[in-house]
Amino acid sequence: MRVLITGCAGFIGSHLAERFLKEGHEVIGMDNLITGDISNIEHLFGRDGFTFIKYDVTNYVHVPGKLDAILHFASPASPKDYQQLPIQTLKVGSLGTHKTLGLAKEKKAIFLLASTSEVYGDPLVHPQKEDYWGNVNPIGPRGVYDEAKRFAEALTMAYHRYHGIEVRIARIFNTFGERMRIDDGRAIPNFITQALKGEDLTVYGDGTQTRSFCYISDMVEGIYKLLFSDLNQPVNLGNPVEMSLNEMANLIIKLTNSKGKIKYLPLPEDDPKIRQPDITLAKEKLGWEPKVKIEDGLIRTIEYFKMKLRK
């Protein structure tokens, strides 16, 4: 296959590019590098079948030649990033999705949208199943991301229904691993960096809010399987092992042998109190479920951050 990956220099995008190349596909990576980092894909340059185009997909996008699949992963994705880049986030979710869907229609390519558990907002149903419509504040600080992705899902389904294009919608829950940006403001990069420096770990709120963290190799496997399925509907991808942020902070303190303690800071506005994917659909239709234990994933991620901090 000849595959276009937008957001190719990002955390998930770069791992996907690697996976598709490994399976013998040709990859065209696109990124405007506002939150992506070229060092994530530097090792792919010069490799057979890999091309990189620095481009902002909110503009008309043209790719010469055939395309079999488009994976639309371009977007700021951490709360800190999308609050610093609110307009870009809204534009890439709306205009960027429109442009890449237009390209998919033109090339008769399968379109896979990177959506998010944020479409469920601060959920009133637990765990979250694909048929839950969510509890989102459109005008809150997270609204720029949540509503952009909700619009992106609506547009993707409209292209499927009206133009008959093949679409896949991955609702990606919290994912972690190598190549997360050290300064993206998320819990795991913050905690690991603080723990390795012997500083206190900044837990927001009282730390009883929960998340379910999936290691990157499991996520990539889920996305790969979803692309090759026939599911023209949203599918949750994530690890159902749910834990509080207090538990995560303590686990990272233990794994890094850190002298750091927990320091409590105010909870950001609209921060979801609970989050856990119901992955029954992915299990039944894709034969997929996460395999990597959180501790094992964290150990690898900690090694990566150690290396980054030495640089």
Residues forming contacts to ligand UDP in the complex (CB under 6 A) are 78-79, 174, 186-187, 190, 202-204, 209, 211, 245, 268, 271
Shortest distance in whole angstroms from residue 194 CB to ligand UDP? 8
Shortest distance in whole angstroms from residue 192 CB to ligand UDP? 10
Cβ closest to ligand UDP, residue 201 vs residue 223? 201
Cβ closest to ligand UDP, residue 174 vs residue 258? 174
Q: Which of 145, 159, 215, 224 is catalytic?
A: 145
Cβ closest to ligand UDP, residue 168 vs residue 186? 186
Shortest distance in whole angstroms from residue 183 CB to ligand UDP? 11
Catalytic (active site) residue 215: no
Shortest distance in whole angstroms from residue 24 CB to ligand UDP? 34
- d(CA 112, CA 70) in angstroms, rounded, equals 6
Angle between helices 86-107 and 143-163 (to 10 degrees): 10
What letter represents residue 248's amino acid? M
Cβ closest to ligand UDP, residue 201 vs residue 226? 201
Contacts of 310 (CB under 8 A, 6+ apart): none
Shortest distance in whole angstroms from residue 57 CB to ligand UDP? 22
Cβ closest to ligand UDP, residue 40 vs residue 116? 116
Q: Which residues are catalytic?
A: 145
